[in-house]
Structures are given as structure tokens and as C-alpha cells.
Chains A and B, each alone.
Chain A
């Protein structure tokens, strides 16, 4: 199976001493869903931002399909246009309506004519069930609705892969469900996704592989069942136990 995205021996250091990404290698194939989880401050977000070349890695290579993004002289804007990115803090453009947010890259990056861009943007909003809110500004939407627009914005260009950085962790608990539903829809449609998330029931349901990430490194990988039944590393076991307890508490509450 051809890899949609791959990284080899990736390194990223902040301020000379905080190593967020330590020699990380991974690949993700077409239609695969991989889910990264791990303690906060372990460098998961930095890793994901490196993969999207939003933060430039210090060392190592990133491949999008056959193209190496870390070579000098690569048109990064063109590469980023093929990667969808969903932010933890949503980061919608506040001066544009939901439709404007989704339309912007279609018009200015892919250079679609106005009508085509509009049609495609509306279709993306339909996929996240936000079509009727198309003409509202982000400030007029709830957090969950905003994040669904964020997802529509990321997928409207038909990217090769969608990277999601804790898409539900900034939302109120009662708004998480609608976003998870949207992601589940995407999964069933065969989208390739790399997700940083702590939504364990969701992970169990859709992830092909889970990746436990700690202190800038991939500590352990495996299918969800492996993690829920018998993780090898002590750190993963402890972290998961805590996480599952928390999830149960929330579900009982």
C-alpha cells in the first residue's frame, strides 16, 4: 500500500533544550486512521504541526506521497494545500462567514471560479451538517458548530490527508458529540486521518492504529484492542487507566 504520508527520523527542539519531537518515524497509508494520544506537554501537537510543515522540523524527512517536503526549494504552500489541518482552538477566520471560511482556499489557492468554489464549499458544509449556517459568522456559532466548520474548511480541498490536533478538547462536554459524529462520518467515507485525541470510545471504534506518544517519542503502537486489553509499556498502561476512569466518570455524570 502506498503511503499517503510518512516521516523519517523527525526532530524538533524548542529553545535549545525542550525536545518536542525526538527521532520520530511513522507512515500512514490511504484510508488509514491513526490516533495519537499521550500526556499533555509531550509534544504531540508539535509533531502534528511538523507533519503539516506549519512548524519546520530541525532534522528528518517528511514525505507527502512521493514528494519530500523537507528538501530545500519545495513549494510549501502547494504542499500545505494538499493537507487538511484542524486546530484545537479552531482558528476560524473571524471576519468571514462559515461559507467564506471554507471558500477562501478554494478561490485563492486552488483558483476555482467563484460559482465552482461556492458549490464545493456548500457541499463541504453539507457534509458536516452546517449548510444552513453558511452565512453566519463564527462568533454567532457554538463551539461545536465552529469546529464542524473548521473540519469543512480542512476537507473542502479534498486533501490527501487530514491532520486533527485535539479537535474536541477545547469544547464544552455537551458539544463534543456532534464533532465526534462528524469525524465518524469522515471515517466511514474512507478519509485518511491522523488524529491527536483522547476520546477513547471514538478511538476504539474508528482507529486502525493507536500511537502512545510521550516525551517526544512514540512509546508504543498497536490496534486499539491491544491498548485496551494489554499495553506493554507501564506508562501507557497508567495513562490509559486514568483516561478510561475519567471517561467513565463523565459518562456516568
Chain B
């Protein structure tokens, strides 16, 4: 049996693991997705590779990807795919990169080609125009999309449960098994997921809207 204090302690550990998976995946998804969006927008020759990547990682269910990488590749490449936490973050990062690439591509179109031209007209290089002119505006444009992408990641981190990662879902299952209570643990975890997603996504959205209004984007 687990007493309430132990349950809470377990849950707290689960929450931090869920947060770690989500935030790391959002971060790596950003690092990979942003360049992909610019490649797709400005380098038509490589664009089709990005397209294939996006189609694969948006089209295949996360569960399939995770099981494939962990049990499939993990068998032959134990390092790093033998590590469940790593594999969960790896798969979700790539999935998120594919999503974020699409979000940013829309934002690049929204900011407009003319801003790049204005950059070149001043003698800025393409790279400088992208970094100094496009990315700050693209980021503001993308905040609602990034907010929901974060929420999506928090929810999808639950798939890591099947790899045995001790996140919210796994802890819920452990508590259910130990207490024979099939209701309360699920309600508690549902509440926790809402708590983790809703405020941050809403805040990002509101921040972006305010910024957009101010800058007339």
C-alpha cells in the first residue's frame, strides 16, 4: 500500500518527468523545425526533402514511432535507443519539428517576402535578413501555434508510458494498481494535464495577440 504522502511524492516525480519530456521536445522541435521552415520556404530544391520528413512524422502515430524506435531500433542500437526517456524525447522532438516547421512556414508567409526584399535593399545578407528581420516577426506570428503545439506535446508525452518512462500516466497506473482505486488516480491525472497545458498555452496566445496588435502584424 501507498500512503497519501507517498502518492503525492510519486505524482510530483511524474509531473516533472512529463514536463521534462514536453519542454525538451518543444525545444528540440524548435531548433530543428525553424530551419526546416526556412529551407522549405526559400530553398525550393531541398524543399521536397522537408516535405517527406513532415509527411512521415505527421502521418505516423506517435505510438508506432515510439515502439518502433524503442523495441525495434533499440534492439540493434541499444545506445541511445535502449533508453526509454531518450527515445520518447527523440520521437516527440522529430514529430514536433515536423509540426513546428508547418507553423513557421505559415508565419513566414504571413510576415511576407517584402520584408526580406527590404532587408536586401539595405545590404543585409540573406542570413542577416532571416535572423534580424524574419525570425523575430515569425516568432510573434507563431505564438498561438506554438502554444497548442506545447499542449499537444504534454498530452502525447503520455505515450512514453508504454516504454516504461515514469511520467504522470505511469504513476497513475502504479497508484491505481496499489490502491485498487480505478477512478481517483485518473481524475487526478486528467486534472494535472489540464493544469500543465492550459495556462501556458493561453498565456502564449495572449502574449502573441498583444504583441501582434502593437506591431500591426
Contacts and interface: CB of A to CB of B under 8 A. Distances in A.
A129 to B, nearest CB: 22
Interface in B136-154: 136-137, 140
A95 B122 contact: no
B49 interface: no
Contacts of B124: 77, 104-105, 108-109
A77 B128 CA distance: 11
A54 B121 contact: yes
Interface string A86-112: 010101111100000000110011000
B61 interface: no
Contacts of B132: 104, 108
Interface in A138-154: 138-139, 153-154
Contacts of B215: 94-95, 137-139
Contacts of B114: 87, 89, 91
A105 B128 CA distance: 10
Q: How large is the interface on B (under 10, 10 to 19, 20 to 34, 35 or more residues)?
A: 20 to 34
Contacts of B133: 93, 104
A89 B140 CA distance: 22
B118 A87 contact: yes
B214 A80 contact: no
A78 interface: yes
Contacts of A93: 115, 118-119, 133, 137
Contacts of A92: 118
B59 interface: no
Interface in B93-127: 114-115, 117-125
Contact of B216 (A78, A108, A138): A138
Contacts of A212: none
Contact of B122 (A80, A89, A137, A139): A80
Nearest to A108: B128
Interface residues of A, number: 27
Nearest to A85: B121
A77 B119 CA distance: 10
Given A108-B128, A138-B216, A139-B215, A95 B121 contact: no
A82 B117 CA distance: 15
Interface string A49-93: 000101000000000000000000000011111110101010111
B122 A109 contact: yes
Given A54-B117, A95-B136, A95-B140, A104 B122 contact: yes
Contacts of B117: 54, 87, 91
A139 B123 contact: no
A95 B123 contact: no
A95 B137 contact: yes
A80 B120 contact: yes
B217 interface: yes
Contacts of A95: 136-137, 140, 215, 217
B123 A78 contact: yes
Contacts of A80: 120-123
Nearest to B118: A91
Given A91-B115, A137-B216, A139-B214, A105 B137 contact: no
17 contacts: A54-B120, A77-B123, A77-B124, A79-B123, A80-B123, A87-B114, A93-B137, A94-B137, A94-B215, A95-B215, A95-B217, A104-B124, A104-B132, A104-B133, A105-B124, A108-B132, A137-B214
Interface of B: 114-115, 117-125, 128, 132-133, 136-137, 140, 214-217
Given A92-B118, A137-B215, 8 more contacts: A80-B122, A81-B123, A82-B123, A87-B114, A91-B115, A94-B215, A105-B122, A157-B123
